[in-house]
A and B are shown apart, each in its own frame.
Chain A
Amino acid sequence: MSFPGESEAPPLLDARGLVREFAGIAAVDGIDLSLPSGGFLVVFGPNGAGKTSLLRMLGGGLRPTRGEVWLGGQLIEAGSPRGRKRIGFLSHQTFLYGHLTARENLGFYGRLFGLNDIDQRLEHRLREVGLFERTDDLVGTFSRGMRQRLGLARTLLHDPDLVLLDEPYTGLDPHAAAVLCAVLETLHDGRRTVILVTHNLTQGLELADRVAIQVRGRFAWEGRSTDVHAHDFEVFYRETVDRGEGRT
């Protein structure tokens, strides 16, 4: 997806002809995606639409069967460390170690990213997600919501240009979801590009400036968030999914 005439600058993220097959079945089936710096794309779609596979390919965690991902003119390849410093990835799994404290977890990831000012960064991020008081507590003692907030701190620790969020609201209570939402709103800084995959239509539309509906590995619909009306988007979404799955 791209938005002609919106920006003359080269896109930050440019994915071409992305296909990923598992045992001969296409989870992602030919997606083109072009996003400028500062873009906030929200991808909706039913289970099994290939949203997670798409995000993992964009983040370099999964090798495409066909197609390429370019980030700021740099080819992102699975298995290669190139370009990873510019990508942050959060899924419903937090990628954290329960036997380490919040500080140790973030410190570990900070060292893998080669950061010099780890202490300042982790303090800033822990304050941002409201976990500074729990800095030296083992993550294994954290609730699901706290782990997810710490996962967000981990994702943003190295100040990535591209933030990929895969259903980050899964399993969160309303308070934790609100904290997460507040931090996600701060990502609207005009510099960072964000792709959020979620089933939560209301929260997704509030954050998005672009929206896509993915069905059976393809974008069945894509547009600006201003093109849709929140109150009837749910009906539109269901119709689009039904059409994409051949139910109408």
Chain B
Amino acid sequence: MKLYLAQLWAVAWKDLLIELRSRERVGAMAGFTVLVGVLFNYAIDPTLVRPEDIASGLVWLTIVFAGTLGLGRTFELEAQDGAFQGVLMTPVPRDALFFGKVLSNYVILLVVVFIVLGVFGLFFSLDWGSSLGALVGGLALGALGFVAVGTLFSAVSSGTAMGGALLPILLFPLLVPVVIYGTSVTGRLLVGRPFTEVEGQLRILGAFALVALAVGAGLFRYVVEE
């Protein structure tokens, strides 16, 4: 178990270190988030709709689109100089490799989630403060399920001729539960509904994440194997 965790952490650490130095994915995702925030700011007339009524949908769609942008690059970086082939020739269990990739993608996506909260808070004058813990918890649970599914399908799409263009087509239908329950949790908390009202939806988001992690870990070896 100790070796397993060390291997898992080695994969995640390597990805995060590369990201820290290249800022390739976070840079693109953060840039995308800010631009979307600016566009929504001009596209929505606050005299016609209250920002807090539509913010949850905008927040979640921005996270999904920005996240897909970053996830699509997960295995492209590995393709440089055949590095992923080298990793596959080591004794690292394929599920440890999957969990390591999920962990690094999750950390990167959480950074983007906080950028999204900042951008939308700024442009739409949203008050996240009243139930920030529950809001972040809901976003974190939804993001975990998203990353688990996204990491698996990023591996699938990277091995195809269509590459990154295929990823959203494969991924978005599977993200419907995350978007439905995620927007519901975020929306309710934003308009001041009590935590008890979103408990059930948070459990569903947690269950989705667990199932996605388990299925992803089980299928990953078949996806990366030639």
Contacts and interface: CB of A to CB of B under 8 A. Distances in A.
B7 A112 contact: yes
Interface string B1-39: 001001101110110011001100000000000000000
Interface stretch (A42-50, A90-98, A211-219, A222-230): A90-98
Interface residues of B, number: 31
Contact of A98 (B6, B80, B92): B80
Interface majority SS (helix, strand, loop, mixed), chain B? helix
A16 interface: no
A40 interface: no
B18 A100 contact: yes
Contact of A114 (B3, B22, B86, B94): B3
Contacts, number: 89
Interface string B65-98: 0000000000000001111011111111110000
A85 interface: yes
A104 interface: yes
* Interface size range of chain A in the complex: 20 to 34
Contacts of A91: 82, 85
Contacts of A94: 81-82, 86
Nearest to A108: B14
Interface in A126-154: 138, 147, 154
Interface stretch (A54-62, A167-175, A197-205): A54-62
B86 A78 contact: no
Given A78-B226, A111-B6, A98 B91 contact: no
Contacts of A108: 10, 13-14
A238 interface: no
B85 A114 contact: no
Interface in A154-171: 154
Contacts of A59: 89
A129 to B, nearest CB: 17
Interface of A: 59-63, 78-79, 81-82, 84-85, 87, 89, 91, 93-100, 104, 108-109, 111-114, 138, 147, 154
Given A81-B94, A98-B80, A104-B17, 12 more contacts: A78-B226, A79-B224, A82-B91, A95-B82, A95-B87, A96-B86, A97-B14, A97-B18, A99-B18, A108-B13, A111-B7, A112-B92
